[in-house]
Amino acid sequence: MTKIGLEIHCQLTKLESKLFCSCKADYRSFEPNDNICPICIGLPGSLPILNQKAVEKAAMISMALGCKVPQKIGFFRKNYFYPDLPKSFQITQYNAYGPTSIGYDGKVLIEDREIKIRRIQLEEDPGRLVYEGSSEKTQITLVDYNRAGTPLVEIVTEPDFETPKQVRLFLNLLADLVENLGVSDPSLEGALRVDGNISIDKGNRVEIKNVASFRDIEKALHFEITRQQSLAERNIPIPAETRHWDEARKITISARTKEEEQDYRYFPEADIPTILIDKTVIERLGKNMPESIISKKERYKKYGIPLQVAEVLSSDKFYSDLFEQAHNEKNAKEIANLITTDLKGFADTKEQREQLKLTPTHLSDLADAIMNNKITRNSGKIALQEIVKTGKPLSEIISSLDLGHVDDQSSLSKVIDDIFTEEQKAVDEAKNNPDTINYLVGKVMKKTKGKANPTLTLDLIKKRLDAQ
Ligand SMILES: [Zn+2]
């Protein structure tokens, strides 16, 4: 059996300042080493001051993932030597002496499978190493400390995933969730980073690091499953190790033997006292939290929206915001359908979304026009194409593109006359087999470019057949 666990690092990009100093949390716009101070580069004698907002945002993530938030949180030093870590230790959280990290014991349902969250911790991001050329061949490595001290939330799951697909679904949900909560912008480079660990058939655990994108983590996991299975089939032991994802070659390569926890010599961070989290703070945060994706999905299902559509709609903030503004009780199903099938092609990427000229009013007008039989669903698609580009009102588009229903009897009867002459065989068949009537309706639709009123067309054809 395959077991996959994840460690996800999520930067709190929406904060003003870093975790322990007043340098900007948004380090991306600075020249190298221009967003630093004695605290975040760890000069001797400097003292960290904890960012209260970071604690609150991390608590919100914990609550949204069903975690418990303890009444006391504490910080620890994780010691290791690496050039991107100026203090030679990272201030993080550690649960070996009782749960003092910002969240623990959470769970999320993915494909009806329970994924347990072991813990959520608040910590500082290290700096960044910049290589000249490729990292293997370079002679020069540069260090940029602008990122050092940026607030980071680490989410550690139990190895509860069985397939790479479940991992992808979870990561999509998480990306939407942090965006929904207004704590992070997952589209920023490096804002959401994932390491995976994977083992098959109770074998050794292999860690995969260095995966740049969500799409690649799925590929890397698939590769690892195949690699480990082929070793196991030949009775070759699978060593416990860390492997890096080689993006160019699409394989994982052995990186180093894994550090053991004791190598980090964790000890309490004496410069930050234990922080008490008052119940009233948790209550206030709970009240101000946006509705969770899970409860949104349940609410959408009550409108009669199918589960899969409700899932797509609730887990994407852009779509659900549009839906919330456009729907009423009557048109909810139609609006959900328009967003998740017809609009999706025009609103897949961030750039596309920024250029959309569509408003919630457009969507509700469109749904009403389709439901009241003013235009066919097919014409609705054409109208939507025009709306997203021009932003013109629906009524104007319907008349300028001549999309309105053909529903005057005489012009429809003329079209049906033609079809009855052209499709003699189908007409004979339809007399005995009502199922083939749809074929004739289809022909009428084609001839009218999808504009014929379907109910009226069917009615007229039936009458015609009865009369023959
Ligand atoms: Zn600083």
Q: Mean pLDDT check: name the lowest of 21-35, 235-249, 396-410, 416-430.
A: 396-410
Our CA angle for 300, 359, 292, nearest 5°, is 30
Distance 142 CA to ligand 1 centre (A): 19
Question: 357 and 391 in contact (C-beta within 8 Å)?
Answer: yes
pLDDT at 434 over 80: no
For 265-294, the pLDDT digits (tens) are: 999 999 999 999 999 999 999 888 888 777
Give the pLDDT confidence score for residue 257 in this predicted structure.
63
Separation between Cα atoms, residue 4 and residue 8, nearest integer Å:
13
Q: 147 alpha carbon to ligand 1 midpoint, in Å? A: 9
Q: Measured in angstroms, how far is the CA atom of residue 129 from the centroid of ligand 1?
A: 18
CA of 263 to the centre of ligand 1 (A): 27
Looking at residue 248, its pLDDT comes to: 86
Question: pLDDT band for position 403 (50/70/90)?
Answer: confident
Out of 20-24, 63-67, 167-171, the most confident range is 20-24
How many Å apart are CA 55 and CA 99, to the nearest integer?
Answer: 15
291 CA from centroid of ligand 1 (Å): 34
> What is the Cα–Cα distance from 458 to 444, expressed in whole angstroms?
10
What's the CA-to-centroid distance between 55 and ligand 1, angstroms? Answer: 17
**Which tokens in the block code for residue 137?**
């061949």
Tell how far the Cα of 34 is from the centroid of ligand 1, in angstroms.
10
Helices then strands, counting H and E runs in the chain, come out as: 16, 15
Neighbours of ion ligand 1 (CB under 5 A): 21, 23, 37, 39-40
Centre of ligand 1 from the C-alpha of residue 143, in Å:
16
- Cα–Cα distance for residue pair 349/330, rounded to 1 Å: 30
Token reading at 259? 């550090």
Please give the distance, rounded to the nearest whole angstrom, from the Cα atom of residue 133 to the centre of ligand 1: 29
Q: Distance from CA of residue 23 to its chain's centroid?
A: 29
d(CA 75, CA 95): 10
Residue 258 has pLDDT above 70, yes or no: no
* CA 26 centroid distance within chain: 22
From ligand 1's centre to the CA of 47, what distance in Å?
11
Spacing, Cα 84 to ligand 1 middle (Å): 15
Host H or E run for residue 457: helix 454-467
Q: At what angle do helices 164-180 and 52-64 cross, to 10 degrees?
A: 130
Cα of 319 vs centre of ligand 1, distance in Å, is: 37
Tally of CB atoms within 10 A around 84: 17
Q: Are 35 and 23 in contact (CB under 8 A)?
A: yes
Mean pLDDT, all residues of the chain: 90
Whether 217 contacts 189, CB under 8 Å: no
Give the H/E segment covering residue 92: strand 89-92
Confidence of residue 33 (pLDDT cuts 50, 70, 90): very high
pLDDT at 392 over 80: yes
What DSSP string runs through 191-219?
A: SEEEEEEEEETT---EEEEEE-SHHHHHH
- CA gap 172, 177 in Å, rounded: 8
User: pLDDT confidence of 116, banded at 50, 70, 90?
Assistant: very high
pLDDT tens-digit profile of 185-220?
998 988 999 999 999 988 899 999 878 787 889 999
Centre of ligand 1 from the C-alpha of residue 79, in Å: 20
Q: Which two tokens stand for residue 2?
A: 């395959």
Distance (Å, whole) CA 38 – CA 116: 39
Q: What percent of the chain has pLDDT over 70?
A: 98
d(CA 22, CA 348): 36
In the structure, what pLDDT confidence band is assigned to residue 444 with cuts at 50, 70 and 90? confident
Number of CB atoms found within 10 A of residue 367's CB: 24
Cα(135) to ligand 1 centroid in Å equals 28
The per-residue pLDDT for 449 is 76
